[in-house]
Structure 1
Amino acid sequence: MTGTSTGQTPAAAKPSNFNLPNALTTLRILLVPVYGWVLLHDGGDSVTWRTVAWGIFFVAMVTDKVDGDIARARNLVTDFGKIADPIADKAITGMAFIGLSIIMDTWWMWTITVVVLVREWAVTLLRLSVLKSVVIAAAQSGKWKTVAQALALGLLSLPLLEVDGWLDVPGEVTYGVAIALLLVAFVLTLWSGYEFFRDVWRQRDTLRGGSKSSAA
C-alpha cells in the first residue's frame, strides 16, 4: 500500500455567517425600530399606520419561523444565529409590549409589560452567558407562550378600537379575544419562566454532584 488510513473523517466545514437564515434574522432586528415608529405614529390612533404595523409584525413572526426551519434543514446553524436570533425575537416582542403599553396607557398593561420583559431578557441573557455548557431544552409551555404572545401582540397591533361603521363590533370582539390571549400569554410566561429556572437549578445540582464525585 502506498498510503495509510487514519480512519478519521474530515470535520465538516463550519457554515458561513453570510447565509439566508442570518439575513432574515438581521432583517427582523432592523424591522424593530421601524415597527415601533409605525405603531406609535399619530399617537397610535391612525387606522392606516396601525394596519401597516400589524403587517410588519406579521412579517417578523413569519421570518422567525422560516429562518429557524431553513437553518436546521440546511445545517446553517451558526454562532451568530444562536446569539442574534433570540435577541431579534425578544426585541420585536419587547417593542410591541412597550408600544402597546404607551398606546393603551393602563397600569395593568404596563405591569404585564415590565414582568414579561424582565422574565424574557433574564432567560435570554442566562442562556447566552452562564449556560454555555448546560443545555436546557425548550419546554412545551414556552412554545405555547411564544404562540400566544405572537397572536395577542399581532391582534393588538391592529386598530381594533379605532375602526367604526360595520367594523365596530368585530373590532371590539377581536380586541376582547386579543386581551384574553394576552392574559394566557402572561400566565404561560410566568409558568415557563419558573420551569426554566427550576431546570437550571437542577442541572447545577447535578453538575456539582458530578464534580464532587470525580474529586473524591
Structure 2
Amino acid sequence: MSTAPSDAGGDAREAQPAAVPEPTPVPTLNLANLLTMSRLVLVPLFVIALFTGDGTDTFWRAIATALFAIASFTDQVDGWVARKYGLITDFGKIADPIADKALIGAALVGLSVLGELGWWVTIVIAVREVGVTLLRFWVIKHGVIPASRGGKAKTLTQVAAITAYLLPLPASAEIVRWVLMGLALVLTVVTGLDYVVRAVKLRAAGQRAGAGS
C-alpha cells in the first residue's frame, strides 16, 4: 500500500521572509531645504534695506518689513512641507534653527543699532536662543526635545513684535510695540526655563537607560 510522501523530513521547506526594500534616501536639495536656504539669503537683503537711508526712509523701511515678513513666512512653511512630504533631512534639522536665529537676531540687533529697541531686550532674547542651542547639543545623544506650543507661540510673538517695530507706525502706536515686545520677552524667558527643565529630565532619563543596559 503506497503512502503519500511526507513533508516532515529533510524535504520540508521553511517560508523565507520577504526582503524589506531599503528606504529611498531623502535628497538634501529639496523644497523644504530650499525654503530654509531662501530665508538665509533674505537675511542680508533685509539688513541692507533696514539701514538704507539711515533706517528712516519710509520706502526702504517698508521693503525691509516686507522682506522680514516673507522670510518669517518661509519659517512656517518649510517645516510643514518637510513633514507632509517626508523631506526631513539632517541638513534641514541644522539649517532651519540657524536660519531662524539669524533672521530674528539680525532684526533685533538692527533695531538696537538704530536706537529703536533697547539693547537689553536684544541681549535677553539672544542669551535665551544661544542657551537653548547649547542645550540641544548637551542632550543630542539622548534624544530630541520636541517643539512645544509655548515655543511656537514665542516665535510668532517675536515676529509680531519685530514687525510692529519695523513698520513706520505713528507715535500713538508705541504702546502696541511695547505690549507685543513685552509679551515676547515673557514667553522667551518662560519657554527657555521650560526647555532647561525638559533637557535635564531627558538627559537624566538617557543616563539611567544607559546604566541599566
Cα deviation digits, residues 45-72 of structure 1 (max 9, x gap): 1111110000000100111111111111
For 2:186, the equivalent position in structure 1 comes to 187
Residue 104 of structure 1 aligns to a residue in which SS?
A: coil
8 Å CA contact retained: 2:46, 2:64: yes
Q: Are 1:53 and 2:64 counterparts? A: yes
**Matched residue type, 1:212:** A
Cα deviation digits, residues 5-45 of structure 1 (max 9, x gap): 43342132111011111111111001111111111212211
Cα deviation, residue 73, structure 1: 0.8
For 2:47, the equivalent position in structure 1 comes to 36
Q: Are 1:209 and 2:208 counterparts? A: yes
What TM-score, normalized to structure 1? 0.86
Unpaired runs of 5+ residues, structure 2, are: 1-14
8 Å CA contact retained: 2:49, 2:61: yes
When the two chains are superposed, the root-mean-square deviation of aligned CA atoms in Å is: 2.0
**Matched residue type, 1:200:** A
8 Å CA contact retained: 2:65, 2:166: yes
Identity value in percent: 39
Question: Comparing both structures, which one devotes a greater share of its residues to helix?
Answer: 1
**Distance (Å, rounded) in 2 between the aligned partners of 1:43 and 1:74:** 43
**Distance (Å, rounded) in 2 between the aligned partners of 1:155 and 1:116:** 17
Q: Are 1:175 and 2:174 counterparts? A: yes
What TM-score, normalized to structure 2? 0.87
C-alpha spacing 1:25/1:91, structure 2 compared with 1 (3 Å) = same
C-alpha spacing 1:122/1:17, structure 2 compared with 1 (3 Å) = same
8 Å CA contact retained: 2:142, 2:206: no
Q: Are 1:145 and 2:144 counterparts? A: no
Cα deviation, residue 98, structure 1: 0.2
**Distance (Å, rounded) in 2 between the aligned partners of 1:208 and 1:86:** 26
8 Å CA contact retained: 1:151, 1:178: no
The aligned length equals 201
C-alpha spacing 1:130/1:202, structure 2 compared with 1 (3 Å) = closer
Unpaired runs of 5+ residues, structure 1, are: 161-170
Q: Are 1:92 and 2:91 counterparts? A: no
Residue 114 of structure 2 aligns to a residue in which SS?
A: helix
